[in-house]
Amino acid sequence: MEISCHGRLGLDKSLIQKRKDAEFAMQAEMREIIETNEAKNDLESYFLTMRDKISEGNQYGDFVSSADRDTFNKMLMDAEDWLYDHYEGKKVEFVEKLEELKKFGNPIVWRHTEDQTRGDWITAVEGTITNYRAAALQPGEKYGHIAPEKLNQIVQECDQSSVWLNDLKKKQVETPKCQRPVLLCADMEKKNTALAQMADKILSEKKPEPPKEDKKRRKAQGGRKS
């Protein structure tokens, strides 16, 4: 049996729920307003800053051709005009307009990023080649137990990687910065990882256990008193 109380203080359950729903609706509306303003500001910031960055002599100037710069500048100006005509637009409209601009602008930014990080990856790959080649050619006590033909596999892989890298380095020098690069950081990372994994697998070979007689002899010698 349900027990109900009469004459108690407080609001009816249905009225409480109604007010909660109204509060949630206001919160959702406020979030939408905030997110719409953020999307609008992102769009405005993009066409203002990108227009400056792609100018000749500026950050992205070398990474966009003259023809593409003209095309992109027109797109940015058109976006600015569109924004001022749709200042009270919806969030999705601002987001879509920004994505439209980024489809053209992102490759420019990517070429710049590649250029900035390429040198570090070249140094990393060259260092990996040098270190593993030295370990294979001069195994010493650490790797002397590994068969020469296995060590030679490392040397051959290092040589192939070196040829690959030097060939693409020359081609990259001849490639204008406003075109797609031929020596990609992602490719160097893959080459570096593949070489390291291949060489580590060979160099991780454990030394064979010494013959039991040698072990007994060393144990006996170790136990002698001088």
Instruction: Answer whether residue 219 is part of any domain.
Output: no
**Residue 1 in domain:** no
| Gap between the terminal Cα atoms of the chain | 98
Predicted pLDDT of residue 120: 98
Together in a domain, 128 and 148: yes
136 plus 76 within the same structural domain: no
Looking at the fold, whether 47 and 105 belong to one and the same domain comes out as yes
170 belongs to a structural domain: yes
pLDDT tens by residue, 167-219: 999 999 999 999 999 999 999 999 999 999 999 999 999 988 877 765 556 66
Tell me, yes or no, whether 137 and 199 share the same domain: yes
Whether the CB-CB separation of 134 and 116 falls below 8 Å is answered with no
Find the CATH number of the domain harbouring 38: 1.20.1270.10
Residues 189, 121, single domain; the answer is yes
Q: What is the CA radius of gyration of the chain?
A: 33
Tally the domains of the chain.
Answer: 2
Half-sphere exposure of 12 (CA within 13 A, CB side): 3
DSSP letters along 48-86, please? Answer: HHHHHHTSTTSTTGGGS-HHHHHHHHHHHHHHHHHHHHS
Question: What was the pLDDT predicted at 195?
Answer: 98
Between 201 and 222, the higher pLDDT residue: 201
Phi, psi (rounded to 5 degrees) for 216: -65, -40
In a domain, 3, yes or no: no
Judgement on whether residues 179 and 135 belong to the same structural domain of the protein: yes
With respect to residue 147, please indicate whether it lies within any of the assigned structural domains: yes
For residue 211, the model assigns a pLDDT of 73
Task: Residue count of the chain, please give it.
Answer: 226
Chosen domain end from 81, 109, 137:
109
Per-residue pLDDT reduced to its tens digit, 58-109:
999 999 999 999 999 999 999 999 999 998 899 999 999 999 999 999 999 9
Q: Considering the domain boundaries, does residue 174 fall inside one?
A: yes
Number of H helices, E strands in the chain: 7, 0
Residue at a domain's end among 109, 142, 176:
109
pLDDT at 209: 83
Question: What is the pLDDT averaged over residues 36-41?
Answer: 94
Angle at the Cα of 156 (from 150 to 161), degrees rounded to 5?
A: 130
Higher-confidence residue of 8 and 166: namely 166
Contact (Cβ atoms closer than 8 angstroms) between residue 165 and residue 191: yes
Between CA 144 and CA 127 the distance in angstroms is 22
Does 5 have pLDDT greater than 70? no
Q: Give a yes or no: residue 224 inside a domain.
A: no
pLDDT digits (tens, 9 = 90+) for 99-143: 999 999 999 999 999 999 999 999 999 999 999 999 999 999 999
- The answer on 200 and 120 residing in a single domain is yes
- Is residue 102 included in any domain, yes or no? yes
Q: What is the mean pLDDT of residues 14-40?
A: 71
Is residue 226's pLDDT more than 50? no
- For residues 121 and 171, membership in a common domain is answered with yes
* Choice among 29-33, 36-40, 100-104, 166-170 with the minimum mean pLDDT: 29-33
Q: Are residues 46 and 99 in the same domain?
A: yes
158's torsion region: left (phi>0), alpha (psi -120 to 50) or beta? Answer: alpha
**Same domain? 144 vs 123:** yes
Domain that holds residue 84: 23-109
